[in-house]
Chains A and B, each alone.
Chain A
Amino acid sequence: MQDQYDLVVIGAGPSGLNAASTAAENGLEVILVDEQEMPGGQIYRNVTSPKAPDRFLQADDRKTGQAIVARFFNSGADYLPNSLVWFAEPGRILCSCHNRTREIRGQYLVVATGAMERPVPFTGWTLPGVMGAGAGDILHKDAGLFPKGPVVIAGNGPLIPLAGSHLISGGVDVAAVIDTAPAANMIASITGLPGTLRDIPFMLKGAGMMKTLLFSKTPVIRNAKQIQALGNGRLERVKAVSAKSVREFNASTLLVHQGVIPRTHFTRMMGLAHEWDPVQRYWYPRTNARGKSSMERVYVAGDTAFVHGAQASACKGSMAGIDVALKLNMIGYDEAKSQWAGVEKEMAKALAPRRFADRWFAPAPDLYDVDDQVMVCRCEGVKAKDIREAVAQGCHQADEIKIRTRCGMGPCQGRMCGPALAEISALALDCPVPDMGALNIRPPVRPIPFAQISALAKTG
């Protein structure tokens, strides 16, 4: 493995894999660096495992994932798994690989670090037994395991019907599905309905999941609010309010889901320009149609650029790979255009239902109107009241509140509390959320031992 490449790709999900494959097939020297042991990202986690046929509940998804990975392994791109990238700037990255820091140089960089579940604090969300709905899905793809029942599934987002139907099909005791989607979302999503007609299989998939849920006679609580996880040392019960009545269920596992947001720690650490999406309420790095960011020689692809799902992510990766090949003169403009044309067609189809889905699954306006005692920063134990006090004392920027309260200073570096910190303080100040700014992210963007940084100084 060399140390100098034409292109370095970070992240082995569908977009990173396709960016690497496309660039390598066009003759570039490419390396893909990923934190996991196997390629596939989260959506296609362990898709090449011999166990995958049992563990992917949708056979089509598995086959798509396996084809993307197979193409990557045939593309000639180098692959560096088990490696946490903790610094990047145009021209190079630093990653921690088997407890050693490695520097890899590349003329171009594609950041494809994917998405994460929107972290929304509520009473008891730190109790063992409370997990993300995505975590439940990963548990199955990674290890063929279902979470321990009885399970309650709560929130509003695409993974709610998915998790519900998967668990019911797997014979897991699902005590209830608690839907926190506001009734207004259904009206708002109507404008997106025509788009869904361009992707009938997408809608059928959704309808199939709803059918599994309804036929199972699992209690579905609609229009719910104030989810609470209760228990002594671990989850025992889940409580929610719906139509002014309080519902309570015994549960060993609570799977929560409030939608999906881009993972932007990396792009913010690099200082790329970001935009705020007012419907889905998240920051995303500004890119052009080919994925080029505000910084020369740096591209952002996949759900990191905007959450559009796996199929669109794969397309965005290919777009970026083609553009880098063009910039490095490995292909001419006409060739690039013809390669793009095929991808654009697929991309348009993948994007068609998004307007509908983004509005249906839009976060509720009062999602972050949480009680004073709710823990916002899981790592440092900072409560909503601490944030509100800091605001009252005159801290009017996310970073000022962080310094005052330690919210965002733990090992997760604000990944789990950053969005809530901004939302809760914006509510307190009665100002738009983007006015709070986003937390300033500095390298190392993953916690690593000091020894790995000092060893670098000795060698480099």
Chain B
Amino acid sequence: MRAGWVLFGCAAAVALLPWSPYHLSLLTMVLLLALLAASWHLLALGGQLSFGHAAFFGVGAYASALLASRGGLGVWAALPGGAISAAAVALPVGALSLHLRGPYFSLATFAAAEILRVLATNWTPLTGGAWGLVGLPPLPARGSLLAAGGIGAILLVHVFLGQSRWGLALAAIRQQQERAEGLGVPSRPLLLAALVTSAAFAGFSGALYAHHVRSLEPATAFSLLFSILPLIMALFGGTASPAGPLLGAGILYFLDELFLQPRFPAAHQLLYAGAILLVLLTMPEGLLGFARRRGGRRGAP
């Protein structure tokens, strides 16, 4: 937890420094991906691995983009609109997936994200179809601070979970759902609350993305990449603490953007494939768990 606040403080401080436009853009991108990874992790606290967070990312992106470009709202009002829309979409997605366990839940979220992608592609009057939307209004100056604010809000959710029975109940569901239910933990409503909260933050991340990139098409906003990245970043950093997803996002994104992409533009995603296999095969608790064990401290998660 403390590491999470330290990372948050560093990110916010770095975001205030004077940077070139290119570096500011990198910073916004890494912070919104860290926000996406941290939102994915909120649901993983209950033991559910989503393979479809692109659904919420994409809905948030499209909702905010449409509110700003066609609804005439300012970006400040459109961004929360994206988060709320994603949370609303999480209700039917949760109804169709949360009664499924383990791999079946993961696959259901994957299917939901792909269905939303097809809808966005074919609902041309609203979304502009496969051509997408262009010329979206930009983020306010220092948009990276908005992403950092989202991360701060997620850390506050963790503080709340750490002090309430909800956090304990989620941990119980993660460890053994049947036993937790037997002890009277209402797993469905709790997981639905976790999914909706997670979706709201993922949607906010998507909304930031829309106004950062300033153009959207279904194939990118709902792409499998935005389902894969949070999963890999969070597992790579480690899921025992909220700092893990932030660290994972920072390390992997900068490695990819600054070293791999310039050298191997065709196959730079090899990094993400390698990272997920490395973590699953050699350090199941992620980078932070690995470092903690190496440091000899058996710190509390």
Q: Do A and B come from one complex?
A: no
Identify the B interface with A (CB < 8 A): none
Residues on A facing B (Cβ under 8 Å): none
